[in-house]
Structure 1
Amino acid sequence: MEKAARTLVVGHFGSGKTEVAVFFALSLCAEQKRPMLLDLDFITPYYRSRDVADQLAAAGVEVVRPAGDLWRSDLPVVAARAVQAMTAYDGPVVADIGGGEGARVLGSMRLGPGTYEALMVVNPYRPDTGSPEQVARYARWLEEIGRIRLTGLVNNANLGPLTRPEHVLEGLKQVEEAARLLDLPVCCTAVRADLVDALPGLKLLPLRLCMRPPWEAEPFALA
């Protein structure tokens, strides 16, 4: 993944886009300016980057979320700071876009071409992105409602805790075919950190799973 000034991370529900957005933002902490992670996910109150904002802040990433108790809701509230970050902040910005509603927010911002990278995270083992044709249709729909142009795909082929290296590689073939249909590159493969050594030769974004349902007691820690 290229370190652009503005990186939009989109994807279907359950694609793992929030995990990808979180760890891509963390990879930018060596930049001169503090990276911002914009939480524009309005689809569900679970699995949102705002839930680990304190841990990310300690690591050097500012999570921009609705103020007060509104951050806990699933209302389509856009923080004024998020708009400012997308249009005026001179440091790196990663936007975690939640499905269609988040993409519509992007559409209202009317981002100019060449001012961002837009990456679609794909898990080909999910029902609605199980074929290259489904991925391509969803990608074009996101482009239309978000008034954006995708610049690449991210392979996030996984079966949760059951994922093995062969699952990642087989899924990559599907994502590459979708990329061919869209005339886009596959920018990288997101993979659980413990599988990295088993996947030599690939451009990888290592992940430590941080998005957990609230009934799981184990806290997210970066170390």
Structure 2
Amino acid sequence: MDWKKHHRILIITGHFGSGKTEMSINLALKLREDNEEVAVVDLDIINTYFRIRDKDDLMNEKGIRTLSTGVKARAVDIPALDPAIDAILLDKSTRVIVDVGGNPSGARALARYRPTLEETGYEQIFVINSNRPETKTPEQVIKFMEDTQATSGTQITGLFNTAHFLKHTTADDVIEGLKLAEAVSDQTGLPLLGTVCKSDLVDEVKARTNDLYILPIDLYFRDQWML
């Protein structure tokens, strides 16, 4: 089964700094390349630095609609839940990617939409970056997942490897990160749906991962000074 086609709504959760927002953007662009109608919902009320709403122009130029929990007023984000989010979640003609804040507190915004999500169905993907100090063991990851689910009231349905060292990432880093994701999968019974991988590493990683789905990514938030 193609997990991208299983549910119209794809929710991306994970620890702060794990790469979930980069994955959300690249996944949206991939679906758009496949001629899907796509919308991205930014429910990240935790991270004020790397937010999909800061890439609105890029997404809109590609024909991707963007919605968020805040409105910009000068330099301050005013928290607000956009009623248009409910509408887009119910729009059967549109694939929706939801990027959720990077800790259990951030998942509270997702809880607001739980009734709609239960009506529509969803895939909730938890991304795992073995290089984050707070999620380096299966036990840490599973505890974080349980806390996120308890706060949001939604259920994680699959896992994704997002291990990276920014521009210095190698194929070995991706493969090493998969060990943690596989261990979490074994202990929870949740499927490991795939791994992200810098575009220039895809061929090498593909040769070493036994048909695991690979999402090629470009780094949209990493400026030159961020090595």
Q: TM-score, normalised by structure 2?
A: 0.86
- The answer as to 2:15 corresponding to 1:19 is no
1:40 paired with 2:7, answer no
Structure with greater strand share of residues: 2
Q: How does 1:161-200 map to 2 (within 5 A)?
A: 161-200=167-206
Where does residue 143 of structure 2 map in the other structure?
137
Counterpart in the other structure of 1:2: 4
Is it true that 1:84 corresponds to 2:87 in the alignment?
A: yes
Q: Which residue of 2 is the match for residue 95 of structure 1? A: 98
* Cα 1:67–1:141 shift into 2, 3 Å: closer
* 8 A Cα contact 2:41 2:98, kept in partner: yes
Q: In structure 2, do the counterparts of structure 1 residues 159 and 187 end up closer, same or farther at CA, with 3 Å as the change threshold?
A: same
Structure 1 residues 198, 141: CA separation in 2 closer, same or farther (over 3 Å shift)?
same
* Stretch of structure 1 that moved more, 4-13 or 204-213: 204-213
The residue type equivalent to 2:216 in the other structure is P
**1:105 pairs with 102, 109, 115, which one?**
109
- What number of residue pairs does the alignment pair up? 216
- 2:50 counterpart SS class: coil
- Residue deviations 1:30-84 (CA, integer Å, cap 9, x gap): 5665200001111122111111111111112111135752496454322221222
Q: Specify the code of the residue in structure 2 equivalent to 1:2.
A: K
Query: SS of the residue aligned with 2:165?
Result: coil
The equivalent of 1:221 in structure 2 is: none
Shift of 1:28: 1.5
Unmatched segments (≥5 aa) in structure 1: 218-223
Q: CA deviation at 1:112?
A: 1.1
Tell whether 2:219 aligns with 1:209: yes
Q: Distance in 2 between matches of 1:9 and 1:130?
A: 19
Give the 3 Å change call, closer, same or farther, for CA 198–207 of structure 1 in structure 2. same
Deviation at 1:105, TM superposition (A): 1.7
Does the 8 Å CA contact 2:43/2:69 hold for their aligned counterparts? no
**Residues 187-211 of structure 1 deviation map (CA, whole Å, 9 limit, x = unaligned):** 0100111111111243100000001
Tell me how large the CA RMSD over aligned residues is.
2.3
Q: Which moved more, 1:30-39 or 1:179-188?
A: 30-39
Gaps of 5+ in 2: none
Where 1:195 maps in the other structure, the secondary structure is helix
Aligned-partner Cα distance in 1 for 2:56–2:178: 31
Distance 1:68 1:15, change over 3 A: closer
Preserved CA contact (<8 Å) 2:142 2:184: yes
Tell me: CA distance 1:119–1:91, structure 2 relative to 1, closer, same or farther (3 Å): same
Q: Identity over aligned residues, as a percent? A: 32
